[in-house]
Amino acid sequence: MKEEGGGLAVRRMPMGAEVMPEGGVHFRVWAPGRRKVEVVIEPPEPEPGAGPAGFALKAEKQGYFSGLFSHLNSGTLYRFRLDEEPSLYPDPASRFQPNGPHGPSQVIDPEEFAWNDQDWHGVNADDPRGQVIYEMHVGTFTKEGTWEAASRELPELAGLGVTIIELMPVADFPGRFGWGYDGVNLFAPTRLYGTPDDMRRFVDQAHTAGIGVILDVVYNHLGPDGRYLDQFSKHYFSKRHSTDWGETFNFDDRHSQEVREYILANAVYWVKEFHLDGLRLDATQQIFDDSEDHILAAIVRRVREAAWPRSVYIVAENEPQDVRLVKSPGQGGYGIDALWNDDFHHSAMVAMTGRADAYYTDYQGTAQEFVSALKYGFLYQGQWYSWQKARRGTPAFGLPPGKFVHFIQNHDQLANSASAKRVHLLTSPSRYRAFAAVLLLGPQTPMLFQGQEYASSSPFFYFADHKEEIALLVAKGRASFLAQFRVLATPEMQARLPDPDDPMTFMKCKLDHQERVSHAEEYALYRDLLRLRREDAVFQSVRRTGRLDGAVFSHDAFVLRYFGENEGDDRLLLVNLGREFILSPAPEPLLAQPANADWALLWTSEHPRYGGVSTPDWPTEGCWRIMGETAVVLYPNPRQPGE
């Protein structure tokens, strides 16, 4: 069939295969250094002995090749042939790989999906109600591990109080299961969870339920298997920088403009064609760019432009805790909305488990650390960090609390314990309940890891299905990484580490949502705390005003005072992670009751509804007796005339 056109045409994205409004499919691919690029269509049943037919694309400037073919349509399977070589390769901007990264690409028409979210306004980082993030791995969130099955749980998440689902990466990767951080087809939602329209339907139904959806994207490296970008251009990857996982993208060297365009198009693609409400940028400290316009700043700018008039929410992981990422462009920053706060997690784990090995070494889990984290976000803002033998963090004073994402579980930290046990199994039930209050009533943005809300019994191991030679290297590398923990470096523990390539390792991680019933007490705890966070005017206002102060009573006990916008309308959060004690004497002004009122009990972590032993009525006279391993919220109860 004769090629019918070349050039850029009117396209949504600068690369990939697109169904044209007037009919046909337009292909465009970047392959500098190649003399000839052909599109090879894969018929369902090719004639015996017939080789695949190729349709040549026309060369453009800057190394692009393109062409329009009117006889093709949505659903067409294709690959590219380069310089008449025998091997065929999937599209670097493939919208779907129905048979995985090594198979043909499929033409997808996003216009075929009928959206119902026209009244959805997106996710606003400045929403006075705040945000509650829920990290989800689609493959283990349900027994089926599909978009369709996950959609059925959306009403329950909305009722819990979740406002944002943060999807672990979905860019297609080889094998039957994986975390998604070794993706190789950045534009193709993995076939393991369903079709691209199944993903769109999930997002559409999330919006109907009042939940935004953001996607964890990996722009620092690609996985080792199924990576064919090198065949199209060696310039995709940097010769100046490298990451802990190998080669990284070329954002600042020769031909970097086209590589930047590829990554920027991908970020925009998720917002435009899947109506996603933002991104979570993985390991940004491993994204290297010496350009004047850093790629992270460019991503944020382009995504916001593409989403307008909807609002988007962009969060980043940044191990060095560089606040430049969340400062505005006017302040020399990149304009990201929030950063993960590992400091809070590490301190919480030390307090809950008593263990301070490896990267927990520089945390004590004391009351002062939690007062500081809830007031200032990062604990390390430039101090010496002995584990890394370097300074850690940058000054974060004055940043709004919503700029920090706090958590006590996430995918990495669960898997890094080797047993992958949830934290409620590593500490006492009462201490776990108290920590739930610290997490969910703090002014920062809380994040839950799937199943945390009902104390899931499912572990979350590291799992990745690779071919044998890669699987052996992955297992060896995983064991070496975990050996930084002294208890995991012993021969007996090294021998017990789960095999990432074993299907049972993956299957054990699947959630059982029936535990919402069997673990009803833990589920009630999270539901009630999130309702209090959402509905109490004082907790709401502090997220906006930052009017919060705290004081330490002992190594394990502290108080936080939330100052309401109306005089005297304050809240106290008393937390005691140690043994019971009597607060006498009490020379701390934060404990003073507002005028003409007495402190009264609003909420307690020891309510029998949560499996606790209850808390007596709060005394209006005498000293306070603070129960061990408990958290209570007090409110000012106005005195009656004559009292």
Distance CA 96, CA 106 (A): 5
**Cα–Cα dist 209/129, whole Å:** 17
| Residues 6+ away with beta carbon under 8 Å from 266 | 93, 186, 187, 217, 219
Q: Residue 342 CB: number of other CB atoms within 10 A?
A: 24
Query: Residue 474, Cα to own-chain centre: how many angstroms?
Result: 23
Q: Is 319 a catalytic residue?
A: no
First to last CA, the chain: 94
Q: How far, in Å, CA of 598 to CA of 593, rounded? A: 6
Smallest CA-to-CA distance from 101 within 189, 184, 199 is with 184
Asked if residues 95 and 106 have their Cβ atoms less than 8 Å apart, the reply is yes
Q: In what order do the strands lie in the sheet with 64-69?
A: 16-19, 25-30, 64-69, 58-59
Q: What span, in angstroms and rounded, lies between the C-alpha atoms of 405 and 420?
A: 22
Task: Write out the E strands in 244-306.
Answer: 246-249, 278-281
Any idea what DSSP says for residue 464? B
Among 282, 515, 528, 629, which one carries the catalytic annotation?
282
Q: Give 521's contacts (C-beta < 8 A, 6+ positions apart).
A: 609, 610, 611
List the structure tokens of 189.
């939602």
Catalytic residue among 38, 182, 317, 322: 317
Structure tokens at 6: 């070349």
Tell me the C-alpha distance between 502 and 463, whole Å.
8
Assign 424 to helix, strand or coil. helix
Interatomic CA distance for residues 192 and 146, integer angstroms: 7
From CA 172, how far away is CA 498, in angstroms rounded? Answer: 24
Nearest CA to 191 out of 320, 126, 297, 95 is that of 95
CB 246 within 8 A of CB 301: no
Closest C-alpha to 422, from 501, 511, 514, 520 = 511
Say how far apart CA 69 and CA 618 lie, in whole Å: 77
Question: Which residue reads 């408990």 in tokens?
Answer: 630
Instruction: Provide the b/e sequence for 220-232 (b: ≥16 CB within 10 Å).
Output: bbbbbbbbbbebb
Phi, psi of 159 (to 5 degrees): -65, -30
Q: Which residues contact 46 (CB under 8 A, 6 or more apart)?
A: 52
- Asked if 148 is an active-site residue, the reply is no
- Where does residue 179 fall: left (phi above 0), alpha (psi -120 to 50 degrees), or beta otherwise? alpha
Q: Which residue intervals of 446-519 are DSSP H helices? A: 468-482, 491-496, 503-507, 515-518
Strand blocks (E) in 436-554: 445-449, 548-552
Kindly report the backbone phi and psi dihedral angles of residue 80, in degrees, each rounded to the nearest multiple of 5, phi listed first.
Answer: -110, 140
Active site residues: 282, 317
